[in-house]
Every structure is written in C-alpha cells, then in structure tokens.
A and B are shown apart, each in its own frame.
Chain A
Amino acid sequence: VSRRVLVCDDEGQILRALRIVLRDAGFDVVPASTAQEALDAAALHPPDAAIIDLVLPDGDGVEVTRSLREWTDVPILVLSAVDDEDEKVRALQAGADDYVTKPFGPKELVARLEAILRRRGDRADDPVLRAGGLELDLAAHVARRDGAELHLTPIEFDLLKELLRNRGRLLTHRMLLTAVWGPNYGDEVATLRTHISNLRRKIEPQGAERVLHTDPGVGYRLL
C-alpha cells in the first residue's frame, strides 16, 4: 500500500521531479503549488505526511503548518530555501516535525520523511521506549544501552524520554527546556547544552553510532 504525501512547492519543476523520486520510495504524491491548494488537498485526501515549502506565493509554509495542526497530527516536513534559524524555529514551534534546507539531495529528503513517519508507527501505550540500541523503561525508570544499564541523572532521563518520544523529530531548544525544566526556563540554552553533552557521553560511547544529532542554533533530533 503506497503512502500518500502532500507536497506543496510553488516551483513546478521541483514538484514534478519530486513526484518521481518519492514514487520510487513508495509514496503517492499529492501536489499543491499554493497554500490554499495545500489546505484543500489535505482536507480532501488526508495525507500520511506533508512536505511544505516555507515560501509560497499566497502565504507562508508556517501558516499552512499551523492550519494543518489544528486538525491533524500528520508528520510535516518543511522545505526552506533560506538558512535562517529563526524561520526554522518558527516552523517547528508551529508544529512541523523537521525541516530540510534547499538544495537537498532527494535521498536525504526521503530519509527524513521515513524517520518522522517511523515515530508515528510507535505504539503510544508501550511503557518501554526504544531506538537503535537504546531502551527506556518508563515504569521501572531504567535506561539501557545494548542491554547494559545507563546511570542517568533525573534530568538526563527526562531529556532522553522527551527525545525518544519524539524520535526522528527535530526538537527546538525551547521545546526541550519547556518539557524538562518548565515554561519559565525556555531561554536557558546554555544549561540545556551542558546536560545534552553529558547525556551524549553516556548514550554514545566512543566509537558508537551517533544517534543524537545537533542542529546548530535550532535544536536536537534523535534518530
């Protein structure tokens, strides 16, 4: 069964090429070239995922994301042609799961899309969160890597829990700070950085595969 993905970009050439690339990856593309077309198409054929360009002729991809989020939690990937951290953070806060900067290799785009779709397949009621060799037993409050128990501080445990729950999704600094420390700590990026680097030492020992990715100036993503 092919999965349906809404692709909204005002560049016709990109839409046509993406249709072929995504078809090979097992997606059925619903194209849209304006914000209004995207919202109409999503309502008519609810997609399994959406790829939305940030700059649209009749509006802005952040607005489309926000409108979609009002009624669906479909994974959303935004495309950005500008390297502007603020713009990315804005899209993520509006509910986007991740972003890809133009020009991107189509393989990277598909990989990101798969990652955010995988998370949606996770069972929400499972008390054990897993990713790669990582395992977090929420009931027993125990973290393991390849079966060996990890000694995490309460904050590191909470951070890992947040990252695992949103596996594949890019979480902004503010999202992590708010979830772990509380809404008054949204700007304490330096504190977050320290704890993340401690956590990284414990979950990614020397030579191990990197699972915790840093997006400079924006946030972190666990794959």
Chain B
Amino acid sequence: MARAMGRNPLIGVVVALASVVAATLLIYALDDVAPVVSLGVIYLVAVLLVSSIWGARLGIATALVSAAAFNWFHIPPTGRFSISEGENWVALGTLLVVAVVTSSLAERARLRTEEAEQRRQEADLAAEMARLLLRGGRLEEALPTVSQRLAHALGLPSASIELAAVESDERRVAFPLRERTTQVGTLVVPAGMPEDVLARLQVRVVPQLEALLAAAQERDELLGDVVETAALRRSDVLKTALLRAVSHDLRSPLTAILTAADALDSATIRDEERLEMTRAIREEALRLSRLIDNLLDLSRLEAHAAEPQREWSSVEEILQSAVDELGLPDGTFALSVALDLPQVRADAAQLDRAFANLLENSARHSGGHPVSVRARAVGERVLIRIVDRGPGIPPAQLERVFQPFYRAGTDRTGHRGSGLGLAIARGFIEANGGKVWAESLPGQATTFVVEMPLDVTDREPEPEPVP
C-alpha cells in the first residue's frame, strides 16, 4: 500500500500537512507534563513518516513546515515568527537539523528496501523459472509458462522465449541467450520498454535464463539417453525371458519324446502302452513344431518384420481354417457367423495365425466345454467374440495375458501353453489395424473380443488394382 501511495506526491503533501497539524495539537496536549522546548521531537515522527514513503524532498519540506509551526504555535512568544530566548533558538535549530538528517536517512532506507524487494522478486522469478524449466517434461511445453511468468514479474506486456535465434526489429527487442559460444535461445520483449527494465533484463534475468536453458537442454539430452538405455534393457530382458522360455518349452517335449522312445524299447511294454508311446511321440513332436512357428512369428513381430499383405478376406473362412488347423476334436468350437458379414481388408494368413492362437488358448482353458465363436458386424466394425467356460481371468491380469511368456496356468491334461499365443494374436491383429482384448468375470468365463475395422469408403470388395 505504501508503495502505491508513494507514487502519488499529492497524497504525500496531504499526509505531510496532516501530520504536522497532528504533531502541533499533540504538543498542546502534552505541554503540562513536559517543557515545550523538548516536545519538538514529536515533529520528527511526521518527518520520518513522510520521508520514508515519499522521499527526502518532501521530508525536508515537512521538516521546514514543522520548524515554522513549532516556532509559531509553541515557542514564546507564540503567534509570530520570532524567538525571545536563546535556548529556544537552539531547540528550533536542533529540530531542523535532526529533521533534515532523519529524512535523508529514511530516504536511503526506503531505496534499500525497494532494491531488496526487487532482488527478492528476481530471486523468486529465478526459482520459478528453474522449477518450470527443470522439473521434467518437454522443454518446449514449459517455455510459454516461463515467458508469461517473466513478463508478469517485470511488468512487461508480453515476453517470449524462443529456442531459435531471433533478430531485433522496430517492434521488439531480442536478447540472445548463450551458453559459452553457442546460442541456446532468444528472449524477445516488445520494444519501447523503460531503460531501467531493459537494464534489469540485461544484467539479471538474461544470465539466469541462459544458465537454466542450457541446463534444461542438457537434461533433455540425458533423458533421451536414459530412455534409450531403458528400451535396450527391456529388449534384453525380453531376450533373456525368450531364452529361458525356449529352453524350458523345448526341453519338456524333448524329454517326453526321449523317454517314450526308451519305453518303446522296453521288453515288458504292453500293446496299449506301445500305442500310447507312439502317440505321445507324435503329439510332442507336433507341439515342438507349433512352438517353433510361434517363436518365429513372435520374433518377426518384435522385429516389426510382419508387414501384412492386405487383401479382401472373409472372416468366416479365416475362422474355419483356424479351427481346422488346430485339429481338435469335433464340437470343441461352436462357430456362428452372421450371414451378411462384410469382408475385411487384412492379411488372411496373419489373421489365421492370430485366431488359431486365440482359439487354442480358449479351448485349453474351457475345461472340456465347447468354445463359442460369434462374428457380427456392428457399425463400421466386425466384432468376433470367443467365449470359453473356463475359470475366468482376474481383472488385474486381463491385460497381462497378452504379454509374451505370461501364462495363466495349466489345463487338465498337464499341457501348459507356451505363453506366446496371445502375444502373437495381438501382434498380428494390431498389425492389421484391429484390436483384441479380454473380458472376464473371475470364476465364470473369459471372452476374447477381436475388433476389425470395415473400410466404409470402399465397402464393395473389388479386385485390387495392381500397382
């Protein structure tokens, strides 16, 4: 408030006069308890008040008016500007000198306070700029906020920080921001700012901004390195998991084959056991072969080498072929496809691999109950829902089941999945522009939903023009 009044000298004059009047009246009230001569100090309060807010000039004026008032109203003979006794001369002189000195001291204190206030604001500004620039996130996104804050702190109508080099012109002043010899950015403010604001910018704000901007850019670079390292580490983790899973999943069927082969050599083997062992060898060999297919698919997907060859394809044909491929007993799947289901533009071979994996997974967890497979067009999409009657998936694992090597459990026959199937299914479906997710009520059933987009702009399946 004092600062606001300090800008208006008129208020200063009014306050000065009012406080001189008040001091004069106060001395009347007190002259019974103390000698009038020593009560002159009361005027000093008025001088101090005025000079500390409105400066030394008005303070000295107040001192002179105070001396005159003291002389006129209180120093005998009162009612005129004359002094009868020598000691009263001394009192008036002392008052005048002390008042002048006080007012210049107060002026100096006022300037110091103002400067300290300015420094504090600059320190606040620096701290806030540091917080905004260094807290993380992208540097480009922090710059508008920093510029706004800077303009506000310096009382500028606007300011902007550019990461590029900008030249001054008649409408704006550009301060290049440099770190050592390279320019890291430019601070641009409107032209026509007061000299002292420009000086403050030049001397105080620009060096801080330079240091902060350089630090923020260095941080961004380091962050980039960290992200890259983390990505490399993740791919390393994946490779280790792959090796472990491969070594585990390849070894189990191999053990079964080796043991069954030895059992076939047994002298005591019975006929039905012999049949069982030959069947085991065949089944385990097929399992190995499927695993190898899956591993190749996965590594292709991980390497982004699975570029789909999109053609108009029939969802029904793809589903039927996936069912046939699995070679599971009749009645494992209950297929229901809408009669008027439009075709989708997709790589049929990839979708076939995706659905074979989804269907195999559902059959494995369905506990012997048929797996229902329904395909319908809904709006501009085809939805395929694969519902098993298995134990369901807890909500926390609904997404995790799509991660490579994640496996939910074992089925009745003791065959675990490789933990690759759902990851591959999602990989191929997404490569073809679709989506797949799991819905489940734990303890009840799991539904895998596949959503494929329909190309509405070109609904009629026409032969593709050869490019």
Contacts and interface: CB of A to CB of B under 8 A. Distances in A.
Contacts of B164: none
A23 B413 CA distance: 23
B316 interface: no
A72 B256 CA distance: 29
Given A81-B247, A82-B244, A102-B251, A13 B280 contact: yes
Interface string B245-275: 0011001101111111011001111000100
Q: Which of A10, A55, A103 has the most B CB atoms < 10 Å from its CB?
A: A103
A112 to B, nearest CB: 14
B248 A105 contact: no
B262 A106 contact: yes
Nearest to A109: B259
Interface stretch (A14-22, A134-142, A192-200): A14-22
A103 B262 contact: no
B127 to A, nearest CB: 50
A81 B258 CA distance: 14
B284 interface: yes
Band of interface residues on B: 20 to 34
B262 A105 contact: yes
A23 B259 contact: no
A13 B244 contact: no
Interface in A1-20: 10-18, 20
Contacts of A33: 414
Q: Kindly name the residue among A11, A13, A23, A24 whose own CB sees the greatest number of chain B CB atoms within 10 A.
A: A13
B416 interface: yes
A34 to B, nearest CB: 8
Contacts of A83: 247
B133 to A, nearest CB: 46
Given A33-B414, A102-B254, A17 B269 contact: no
Interface in A54-103: 55, 57, 81-84, 101-103
Contacts of A12: 413-415
Interface string A94-136: 0000000111111100000000000000000000000000000
B283 interface: yes
B410 A17 contact: no
Contacts of B263: 17, 20-21, 106
